[in-house]
Amino acid sequence: MQVSMDGKVVAITGASRGIGAASARVFADAGARVVLLARSGDEIAALARDIGRGALAIECDVGDEASVSVAMAQIVDTCGGLNVLIGNAGVIDPIGRICDVAPEDWSRAVDINLKGVFYGMRAAIPLMRGRGGTIITVSSGAAHNPLEGWSAYCASKAGAAMLTRAAHLEEGSSGLRIMGMSPGTVATDMQVRIKASGINPVSQLDPSVHIPADWPARLMLWMCGKGGDDWLGQEVSLRDEAVRRAVGLVA
C-alpha cells in the first residue's frame, strides 16, 4: 500500500547519489517536500531542480556539528518544520587492515558514519518532540558482522545502530518513531569502490546480486507508515523476504 507523505517535510543526508538520491525521488513521488543534504552542493542542486515539487538543496557536511545545525535551522525557516530525517550519509573508506590505514582517515569515517548520525538526531529531535516524526538510520550488515579491511565502517556503523536504539529508548515516549534500516548490498558507487579493493568476500560478489537503490528507498517510505509501527527501536533488514513482500518489492 502506498504511503502518503502529503504535507510532510523529509530531510535526507547523503542525498547526492545512491540510496539518498533514490529516496529523494521516492518520497517526493509520495507527496513529500524533500530536503537534500550533502557536501556536493552542485549535485544536490541539480537533483532538486530535476525533482521539483519544492525540493530544497542545502550543502551540509554531516561530520561537522555546526554545519548540521545551520542546515536544520534553514529547514525550519524555509519549510516550517521537519517530519522525517533519514540518516543516510556514509563512507566505506578507508578500506584496509587496521595497521595499514591512516588514523585521520579512520577518524573521518567515524565523523560521518557515527557522529553525523548523532548530530542529525540532536538537531532534529527537538523539532519533532511532542509533535511526532520519524528518524531512520541507514544501517548495514557490517554493523553486526566484522569484515576484513572494514574496521572503520564496521565500528562506526555498529555505533550508529546502537545510537539509534538509544534514541528510541529516550524519545519513543515523546511520540518519535526511530528505527534502523539495513539494505544489504545495493548497486551504488560504494559497491564499485568495494569491488575495486579486492578485500573480503563482499568485493568478490557479482554485481548482478546487488539490489537497486530504489528498494531501500521504498522500504523507508513504508517504514514511515503503519508498516513501521512494529519495528520501532529495531532494525528492518531488506534481506528478509517477508519484509520485501510486505513492501511490495517481490510477489
**Total number of domains in the chain:** 1
Q: How far apart are CA 148 and CA 155, in angstroms?
A: 12
Known catalytic membership, residue 153: yes
Residue 53 belongs to a domain: yes
Per-residue pLDDT tens digits for 162-196: 999 999 999 999 999 999 999 988 988 888 889 99
Catalytic residue among 153, 155, 190, 238: 153
Alpha-carbon distances, residue 191 vs 203, 211, 212 (angstroms): 8, 11, 12
- Mean of the per-residue pLDDT values of the chain: 95
State which residues form the domain around 40.
9-185+213-247
Best CA proximity match to 11, nearest among 89, 106, 91, 64: 89
Between 146 and 192, whose confidence is greater?
A: 146
Q: Which residues contact 1 (CB under 8 A, 6 or more apart)?
A: 225, 248
CATH code, domain with 45 = 3.40.50.720
Instruction: Say if residues 79 and 30 touch (Cβ distance below 8 Å).
Output: no
Instruction: Say if residues 155 and 199 touch (Cβ distance below 8 Å).
Output: no
Residue 162 belongs to a domain: yes
Share of the chain above pLDDT 70, in %: 100
Q: How far apart are CA 82 and CA 34, in angstroms?
A: 10
Residue 239 belongs to a domain: yes
Confidence of residue 1 (pLDDT cuts 50, 70, 90): low
Between 123 and 209, whose confidence is greater?
A: 123
pTM for the structure as a whole: 0.95
